Amino acid sequence: MQQATAAIRVLAPEALQDLISALAATRVVLGPVRRDGAIVYDEISRLDDLPAGWTDRQEAGQYRLEPRTDAALFGYAVGPHSWKQFLLPPREVLFTTRQTADGLDFLPPPAEERTYAFIGVRACELAAIAVQDKVLRDGPYADTAYAARRENAFIVAVNCGTAAPTCFCASMNTGPKAAAGYDIALTELLDGRHEFLAEAGSEAGEALLAALPSRPASAGDLAAAEAVTVNTAAAQTRALNTENLPAQLAAAANHPHWQEVAQRCLSCGNCTMVCPTCFCTTVADHTDLTTADAQRVRSWDSCFTLDFSYLHGGSVRQSTAARYRQWLTHKLSTWVEQFGTMGCVGCGRCITWCPTGIDLVAEATALREAQNGNS
């Protein structure tokens, strides 16, 4: 990927059908769809698959869809899905063993033949993908399947024109405008018209953009697009003060506030499942009594399960307080030591999808204030 180039065009909404069709010629195209009362990511082939005219209402522990008064195609914040489900699938066969007369054959999984195009990737999601890249692609133990999916994915980002009350990307410097990591970035312009400003971020994006029906962008179009993300940032009501936060959370390791959160936490793991940066997995061997085959399968796991920290003799993190502390301090403190960045991109999903409305921003702020002697 390259930084944005000078290729900036303006597209009519109908041109997105050409974009989808061009990408579908060589890839599985994935984008937002309205399903089961939420906006989720799934395969799309038509412009009509996009959730035109819908928005989401979010708060801690709450999510619902509502119609908009316009036909915006991307007029919502993020839903329960993230792109991690495609780059790091929830369940993946690592290898198969087959019993033979001489012993066991180890068979690798079939090579991934699908290449993806993601449409509607938000700035915080690009940041989340970059975080997972550090762990799964660029770290000392690269996941080759992940790396292959990433290498081949074509990314159409959409700058946010709507902020949910749970969003806090502006305070994390991860949004609402996509800075890098995309092939094409769109900004939906709804200022008395319905058009898209489209900016290429790679040579592949530039080539595709040049093939779409479009017109050159004027200074007015650029200003209108800039205003979209400026207004979205200004509309964010949640903010996390990250200054010195890793050290302050480390110093708060034994604060009674962890017990207070544990009174509300169900240890359900929802927050880790919806988080676009969480990458923890477990492996299990599955045997088939009808054949001589067995499979080793990797699946998403959560630090909220008792088994996740099981070592010989028992689980290390026995209490809910210990598990919540592990999760929050990993995201906002020890991740910085490990990967040089926070493990949180401010998408707000863990706040919305926590069944008891536990708010990472509020809990981190409470712990910071406790360390500052304010409680």
State the residues that interact with ligand SF4 by CB under 6 A. 265-271, 274-277, 304, 331, 344-350, 354-356, 358, 360
What is the closest distance, in whole angstroms, from the C-beta atom of residue 235 to ligand SF4 in the complex? 17
**In terms of CB distance, is 122 or 149 closer to ligand SF4?**
122
Q: 162: which DSSP letter? A: -
Least distance in Å: CB of 64 to ligand SF4? 18
Pairing of strands 154-158, 184-189: parallel
Q: Among all chains, which residue has been given the structure tokens 């069709």?
A: 21
Nearest residue (CB) to ligand SF4, 146 versus 304: 304
Contact by Cβ (8 Å): 214, 16: no
Q: How far apart are CA 238 and CA 167, in angstroms?
A: 6
User: What's the maximum distance between 2 C-alpha atoms anywhere in the chain?
Assistant: 73
Q: Shortest distance, CB of residue 132 to ligand SF4, whole angstroms? A: 11
Q: Which is nearer to ligand SF4, 217 or 265 (CB)?
A: 265
Q: Name the 3-class secondary structure at 340.
A: coil
Give whichever of 74 and 258 is closer to ligand SF4, judged by the CB atom: 258
Q: Which is nearer to ligand SF4, 161 or 276 (CB)?
A: 276
Q: Which CB atom, from 150 or from 238, has the smaller least distance to ligand SF4?
A: 238
* CB 129 to ligand SF4: min, Å: 12
CA atoms within 13 A on the CB side of 327: 32
Q: What is the dihedral of CA 79, 231, 197, 59, to 10 degrees?
A: 10
* Least distance to ligand SF4, CB of residue 170, Å: 13
Closest approach, Cβ 330 to ligand SF4, in A, equals 10
Strand ranges in the chain using DSSP code E only, listed in sequence order = 8-11, 28-35, 38-43, 54-59, 62-67, 91-100, 103-107, 116-121, 154-158, 184-189, 195-200, 215-216, 281-287, 293-300, 310-311, 314-315
Distances (CA, A) of 274 to 81, 194, 207, 269: 6, 31, 34, 9
In whole angstroms, the minimum distance from the beta carbon of 331 to ligand SF4 comes to: 5
Q: How far apart are CA 100 and CA 63, in angstroms?
A: 53
- Residue placing its CB nearer to ligand SF4 in the complex, 267 or 365: 267
3-state secondary structure (DSSP) of residue 130 = helix
